[in-house]
């Protein structure tokens, strides 16, 4: 993929800077590490759900700190736990799409992806009673080979995407992508606002500091320093977590050593670190950010 950037002197003008806090709402056994360990989609219903208590804990924390967030909800979850989706929306948080089946986009054709978008949007809008304008691909899987997804998202009328991680990783990442909110143009000319997860720029690399396993692995100060650097330059930081990351008692899945470590490292400390994050910084939804911030940066993604 060739990424061509054009930037003015001020990438984003922020009248009152807040950051984006987001949650990918899926079960612990639906994570990509579980799929690679052999947990099949047809067996998902044989696993007991552990999601609702985690989401309820997150909602209570957000309410206690008077903060808002975006919840990227997996369609499979929404079909089975519609009341939980209604509760998230009723608390004033944004509902966005995480697809239907948690399939990395390299495993879907453009037509299959379009069907997942339509099915998940219809379901989530029926449950929340609000338009669904945002999307995040499972495992940040808009990469070199799947840039066509940007065109499909634009064609389907989505306002923003948060799937392109500007890092090097064995499963995902577009290292030369812009680090900040920008307008992403797909190979077919489709255009959509892109909200990349937060990174900390170091010589020769971008350190992933936006959440998930990185939030659990790195000391708290790494994420805090990255947010402060974003704030100092007028950029909204995008943070993400999964509700299952607050569940240290979840069953151990039959993963390999690396996969198990990635999935389970420091699960016991996630809740306390999230509470500290909510104390130290101000957050809102992705939808609110794209309404209150203007980006003048554009990147074209060509396969």
**Which CATH number fits the domain that encloses residue 69?**
3.20.20.370
- When divided into structural domains, the chain yields a total of 1
24, 5, 4: which is closest to 135 by C-alpha? 24
Let me know if residue 130 belongs to a domain: yes
Q: Alpha-carbon distance 82 to 1, whole Å?
A: 38
| More reliable by pLDDT, 21 or 168 | 21
CB-based contact 130:285 (threshold 8 Å): no
Band (228; pLDDT cuts 50, 70, 90): very high
Q: What is the dihedral of CA 136, 278, 124, 290, to 10 degrees?
A: -60
Q: What integer pLDDT is reported at residue 158 of this predicted model?
A: 98
Collapse the DSSP code of 261 into the 3-class scheme (helix H, G, I; strand E, B; otherwise coil) and give the result: helix
Please give the mean pLDDT across all residues of the chain. 92
Let me know if residue 46 belongs to a domain: no
Let me know if residue 157 belongs to a domain: yes
**Predicted confidence (pLDDT) at residue 59 exceeds the cutoff of 90:** yes
Q: What integer pLDDT is reported at residue 257 of this predicted model?
A: 86
Let me know if residue 248 belongs to a domain: yes
Place of tokens 């089946």: 101
Q: What integer pLDDT is reported at residue 6 of this predicted model?
A: 45
The arithmetic mean of pLDDT across residues 112-138, rounded, is 98
Q: Which domain holds residue 61?
A: 2-41+51-302
The arithmetic mean of pLDDT across residues 32-41, rounded, is 87
| More reliable by pLDDT, 261 or 42 | 42
Q: Alpha-carbon distance 259 to 254, whole Å?
A: 9
């Amino acid at each position: 993929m060739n990424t061509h950037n054009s930037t003015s002197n001020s990438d984003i003008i922020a009248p009152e800077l807040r950051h984006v806090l987001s949650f990918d709402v899926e079960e612990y056994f639906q994570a990509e590490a579980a799929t690679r360990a052999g947990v099949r989609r047809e067996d998902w219903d044989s696993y007991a759900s552990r999601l609702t208590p985690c989401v309820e804990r997150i909602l209570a924390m957000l309410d206690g700190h008077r903060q808002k967030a975006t919840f990227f909800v997996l369609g499979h979850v929404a079909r089975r736990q519609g009341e939980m989706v209604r509760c998230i929306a009723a608390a004033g948080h944004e509902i966005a799409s995480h697809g239907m089946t948690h399939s990395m986009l390299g495993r879907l054709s453009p037509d299959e992806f379009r069907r997942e978008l339509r099915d998940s949007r219809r379901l989530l809008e029926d449950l929340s009673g609000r338009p669904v304008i945002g999307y995040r691909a499972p495992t940040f899987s808009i990469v070199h080979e799947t840039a066509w997804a940007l065109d499909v998202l634009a064609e389907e009328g989505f306002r923003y995407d948060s799937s392109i991680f500007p890092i090097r990783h064995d499963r995902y990442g577009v290292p030369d992508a812009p680090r900040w909110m920008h307008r992403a143009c797909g190979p077919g000319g489709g255009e959509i606002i892109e909200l990349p997860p937060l990174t900390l720029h170091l010589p020769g690399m971008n350190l992933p500091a936006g959440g998930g396993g990185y939030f659990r692995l790195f000391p708290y100060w790494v994420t805090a320093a990255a947010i402060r650097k974003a704030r100092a330059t007028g950029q909204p930081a995008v943070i993400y977590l999964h509700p299952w990351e607050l569940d240290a008692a979840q069953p151990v899945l039959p993963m390999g050593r690396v996969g198990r470590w990635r999935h389970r490292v420091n699960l016991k400390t996630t809740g306390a670190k999230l509470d500290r994050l909510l104390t130290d910084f101000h957050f809102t939804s992705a939808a609110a950010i794209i309404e209150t911030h203007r980006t003048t940066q554009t990147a074209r993604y060509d396969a």
